[in-house]
Each structure stands twice: as C-alpha cells, then as structure tokens.
Amino acid sequence: MGGHNSPEDIKKETRTYLLVFVALAAATVLTVAVSYLDLTTPQAVTLALFIATIKGGLVAAFFMHLLSEEKFIYAVLVLTIVFFIFLFVIPIGTYADATGEHFTMEGVEHGESEAH
Amino acid sequence: MEIPYTVEARPDTGLYNAKMGIWLFLASEVMLFGALFSSYVILRTGNPDWVQHPMNVSLATLNTMILITSSVTVIMSWASLRLKDFAKFRIYFLITLLLAGGFMVVKGIEYNQEFSQGLFPWSDNYMGIYFTLTGLHGLHVVGGMVVIAYLLGPGAKMWKTAPEQYVNRVESVGLYWHFVDLVWIFLFPSLYLL
C-alpha cells in the first residue's frame, strides 16, 4: 500500500521516515552501549535481541508499510512466522532429545532423566 | 499479449504482480536466513567449548549505520518518484547505491583484518557460521546493488514509457532492500556483541 498519494500525505510520510531513522540510529548506539554492561549471557542475549526486535519492527512497520498492508501479505507473513518457529523448535528439540541434553544460554547441561 | 496487474492491483489480493512476487520471495528468504540462525543456535549452545573471537565492533556499527541510512534513502527515492520528482529520485537512489558499495568496502576491510589474523571459514565453528551468514548477506547486498544500478541506468527508460510500473518496481526493490537491512539488524548483535 504505502499510504496515500496526495503530495501532502507523501511529505508527511517522509517526515515519519526521518523520525524512524533517528530512532533506529539511537537504538543502534544503545545496542552497542548495553553490550559493555556487565550482564550474564542470558540477560545480554535477551536485551540485545529485544532491541533488535524493536528495530526490526520499526523497519517492517514503517519502511515496509506493514502498518497498513493488504490482508494477503499478513496471511503470507503469519504462515512464514509459523514455519520459522518450527524451523527453530524442531531441530533444537530433536538435537536435545537425541543427545539427552537440554540447552542453556551458558552452554549445555546434561540431562538427568537418563536411566542410571 | 499484455500482462495484467503490472500497475493496477488484482481485485482479490489487492496487490500488483511485482509486490506479490517480492513478498513471497521475502517469505522464502526468512526461511533461508532462519535455517542459518537455527544452525547458529544449535552450534553455539551445543558446544561447551565455543570459541568467540573478538570482532571489529566499530566497523560493524559503522556498517549498521550505513544500512539504516540506505533504507531511508531508498524510501525517500520512492517518495520522490511518487511526487514525480525524478531528479530527486535519482539522487536518493544513487546515494543508496553508494551506501551499499560503502557497506561492501567496509565488509571487505573487515574480512581482510580477519584473514590477516589467520581467521578463515574453516578455522572453527564460529568463523564458519560468521562467514556463511555475513557472506550470504553480502551477496544479497550485491544483488540489490545490481538491481538498483539497472533501475538507475537502462531500466530508467520506463519512467517515460510506463511511469506507474516504474514506481512499482522501485517500491519492490525498496521492500527487498529493507529486508536486507532487517537481516543485518539481527546479525549485528548475534555475531558481534554476544
């Protein structure tokens, strides 16, 4: 879609794009800044991916116009997200099941459910 | 025979051909990069002796800024075209191309530094996944550069013959380019900061 086509609307859109750019640049600086904090690995991963998700959301929502798109595109994206989740969960779950190990942010801890 | 829906939207989907095509392509790209991210998670969490080499965060931050800026310039070029300001469109589109080139130059400097430290794709798992992900992303940047250069050069003739279709093509390239930016937004913290 990409919004309306009157010159006023397009100029208004461009102002929004510039604001999003400022937000993305600030979030990038924040991402680097928090990497210097003394955080545990799970905290660092969570925080970094949280900021990245917000940045990605801004790009998708405003630059890719997902705030006002056609239903067909939303349907494609929902399907993609479902398969994307499968893509992550199935291999990791299969690997953990096969090795009797479960995953932690620090590495791998051996499961204790195996028969002794 | 005239191909339908190159300009006007199909009544059932509300999309013109190129836009539907680019979104389906981007969906497949999500799965491609998703598979590699999934591999990275398995390799990293499954290896208690994971070796994380200190990477050049300054250059990667610079590249992040370059890509974010190029995302803005590509959308400003599309907005200029919708305002029928072709001269401004060309400037923004050219800046996007130059920024993309700048990204690849910085990436080249980074690779060169890594090679000079004896770090190659076969050195260890981290370097393997690092070069695979950044290399594949770099190929996407080059692909985008080729299309942008085409639309700036010989493809620009369409602005005179079929301006609405040309605007649609620029929008589709823009969507692709934002996706390339989006992938980097996740690659940057995953590979450089964690």
Of A107, A105, A103, whose CA–CA distance to A42 is shortest? A105
Inter-chain touch B24–A103, beta carbons under 8 Å:
no
- Prediction pTM value: 0.90
Q: Which residues of chain A have pLDDT under 50?
A: 1-2, 112-116
> What is the distance in angstroms between the Cα of B119 and the nearest Cα belonging to chain A?
23
Average pLDDT over residues B8-17: 89
Q: Which CATH number covers residue B134? A: 1.20.120.80
Residue B8 lies in a domain: no
Chain B residues lying within 8 Å of A101, measured CB to CB: 46
Work out the average pLDDT over B119-128. 94
Reported as a single tens digit per residue, the pLDDT across A7-35 is 999 999 999 999 999 999 999 999 999 98
Write b or e for each residue in B77-99: b if 16 or more Cβ atoms lie within 10 A of its Cβ, otherwise e: bbbbbbeeeeeebbebbebbbeb
Q: Which residues of A touch B190 (CB under 8 A)?
A: 48-49, 52
Contact: A73, B15; criterion CB under 8 Å: yes
* DSSP 8-state assignment for residue B59: H
Could you tell me the residue ranges of all domains in chain A?
Answer: 1-69, 70-116
Specify the length of chain A in residues.
Answer: 116
Interchain contact, B175 vs A87, CB within 8 Å: no
Mutation target for A interface from B72, B125, B192: give the one with most A CBs within 10 A.
B72
Look at residue B46 and tell me if it is in a domain: yes
In a domain, B23, yes or no: yes
- Domains: count for chain B: 1
Taking Cα atoms as reference points, which of B175, B194, B162, B43 lies closest to residue A42?
B194
Domain assignment present for residue B114? The answer is: yes
Give the one of B27, B35, B72 whose C-beta lies nearest to A76's C-beta: B27
- What is the spatial distance between Cα A112 and Cα A110, in angstroms, rounded to a whole number? 6
Question: Six-digit token pair at B53?
Answer: 């080499």
Question: What is the span of the domain harbouring residue B45?
Answer: 17-193
User: ipTM of this model?
Assistant: 0.92
CA distance B76 to B79: 5
pLDDT at A101: 61
What is the reported pLDDT for A114?
44
Query: Chain A closest CA to B96's CA: distance in Å?
Result: 14
Within a domain: B2: no
Identify whether B106 is part of a domain.
yes
